[in-house]
């Protein structure tokens, strides 16, 4: 124990190390989002008055508006640059992927812009058959050329410009991929990669952009029209950008020509005020000016049981970890690391610091991710 303490500058014994690290866990980076839905805010419209004359139409239904705050400042709307969760929640209703995750069953994929797909026996080739009734919100037709262009753009911006989530799909060999016909595309990989089909459904890096629009706004200095897409969104999704006031709010409205249709009840407009402080989001939820929002752990527990507010705890994507330098004594000794593992009070941390919200990790993969193994 003395050797271990001496190897960590400024820290006492092993127990102090563990205690200090536990106390430093930042509740603001909680891996479990508390999603709160303000109930009863959507008011059913009054029954329209009976018309005086048979040919006078009924009054239109009241517009349904969802008030859903962003917890951070929006920097860019470029779907091949954004890494910000607050930004991505603005982007995903506008841009779509070839496939999407089944919200009812973890690890299962569903068709989206691609109606079906085939994977070669050797794992190199993926053929996607696209929907034929999809348009971007500028009216242009979505086709296989947009798919190949979108993947090329995402990968190139990541590899050459050094930003963006294109690395998620960088297993693609663009030069070997091809358009079979307007609604069939062959995506070839550099090497077999089993999780690739799940990357196709990722909201990071795999979103489809309008090839013609990008080329229209490209310049010699900006061949991928990055500057244009930072401030403008043109996708195939159910919503489109109506207004963005920096550091203030974003407004999305229904795409009337959405290929998925609008049967049943839907939100007509999404108002997204920028509210970076959890305490202010909590206050707005309590007063009824917000319908849904993420709160920090303390605020989430504080409103639990409040009339009209439903608190839902969901699995997060964050593990709290202690990183050790295994090249330096005594941490290079596996027995020392095992001793620290046995010494750490996992249950006590969850019950006190996390106030009962959380589970003990079983490895580096969070419980909510595909590939997690309880053993």
pLDDT for the residue 314: 82
Provide the pLDDT confidence category of residue 61 given band limits of 50, 70 and 90.
low
Q: Which tens digits make up the pLDDT trace of 328-375?
A: 999 999 999 999 999 999 999 999 988 888 889 888 888 887 778 888
Q: Which tens digits make up the pLDDT trace of 238-296?
A: 999 999 999 999 999 999 999 999 999 999 999 999 999 999 999 999 999 999 999 99
Percent of the chain with pLDDT over 90: 64
Q: What is the pTM of this model?
A: 0.76
Residue 16 has pLDDT above 60, yes or no: no
Q: What are phi and psi of 273, to 5 degrees?
A: -70, 145
Strands of the chain, DSSP E = 34-38, 65-67, 99-101, 109-111, 114-119, 125-130, 178-181, 184-188, 239-245, 249-254, 269-273, 292-295, 309-313
Quote the Cα angle for 106-110-111, to 5°: 165
pLDDT for the residue 45: 41
90 vs 355: CA distance, rounded Å:
31
Structural domains present in the chain: 2-31+317-352 (no CATH), 99-229 (3.90.76.10)
Provide the pLDDT confidence category of residue 2 given band limits of 50, 70 and 90.
very low
141 vs 156: CA distance, rounded Å:
24
pLDDT for the residue 28: 32
**Four-residue CA torsion sign, 64, 69, 74, 80:** negative
Task: Name the one residue in this structure whose structure tokens are 């124990």.
Answer: 1
Type and span of the H or E element at 335: helix 334-343
Sort strands 65-67 and 269-273 into parallel, antiparallel or unpaired: parallel
pLDDT for the residue 119: 98
Q: Report, as an integer, the average pLDDT of 26-31.
A: 38
Average pLDDT over the chain, rounded to whole? 85
pLDDT for the residue 369: 79
Q: Report, as an integer, the average pLDDT of 138-149.
A: 98
């Amino acid at each position: 124990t003395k050797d271990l303490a001496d190897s960590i500058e400024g820290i006492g014994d092993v127990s102090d190390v563990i205690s200090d690290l536990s106390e430093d866990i930042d509740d603001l980076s909680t891996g479990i989002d508390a999603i709160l839905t303000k109930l009863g805010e959507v008011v059913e419209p009054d029954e329209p008055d009976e018309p005086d004359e048979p040919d006078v139409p009924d009054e239109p239904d009241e517009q349904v508006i969802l008030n859903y705050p962003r917890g951070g400042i929006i920097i860019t709307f470029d779907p091949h640059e954004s890494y910000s969760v607050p930004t991505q929640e603005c982007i995903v209703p506008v841009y779509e992927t070839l496939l999407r995750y089944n919200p009812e069953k973890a690890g299962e994929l569903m068709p989206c812009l691609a109606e079906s797909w085939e994977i070669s026996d050797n794992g190199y080739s993926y053929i996607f058959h696209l929907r034929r009734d999809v348009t971007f919100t500028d009216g242009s037709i979505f086709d296989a050329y947009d798919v190949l262009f979108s993947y090329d753009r995402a990968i190139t911006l990541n590899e050459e410009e050094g930003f963006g989530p294109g690395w998620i799909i960088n297993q693609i060999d663009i030069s070997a991929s091809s358009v079979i016909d307007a609604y069939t595309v062959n995506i070839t990989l550099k090497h077999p990669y089993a999780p690739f089909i799940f990357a196709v459904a990722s909201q990071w890096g795999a979103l489809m952009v309008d090839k013609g629009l990008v080329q229209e706004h490209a310049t010699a200095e900006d061949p991928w029209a990055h500057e244009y897409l930072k401030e403008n969104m043109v996708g195939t999704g159910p919503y489109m950008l109506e207004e963005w006031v920096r550091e203030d709010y974003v407004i999305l409205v229904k795409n009337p020509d959405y290929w998925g249709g609008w049967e049943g009840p839907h939100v007509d407009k999404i108002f997204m005020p920028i509210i970076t402080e959890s305490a202010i989001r909590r206050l707005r939820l309590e007063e009824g000016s917000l319908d849904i929002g993420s709160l920090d752990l303390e605020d989430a527990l504080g409103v639990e049981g409040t009339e009209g507010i439903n608190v839902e705890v969901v699995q997060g994507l964050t593990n709290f970890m202690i990183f050790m330098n295994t090249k330096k004594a005594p941490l290079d000794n596996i027995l020392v690391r095992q001793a620290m593992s046995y010494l750490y009070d996992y249950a006590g941390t969850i019950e006190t610091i996390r106030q009962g919200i959380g589970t003990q990790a079983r490895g580096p993969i969070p419980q909510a991710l595909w590939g997690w193994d309880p053993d």
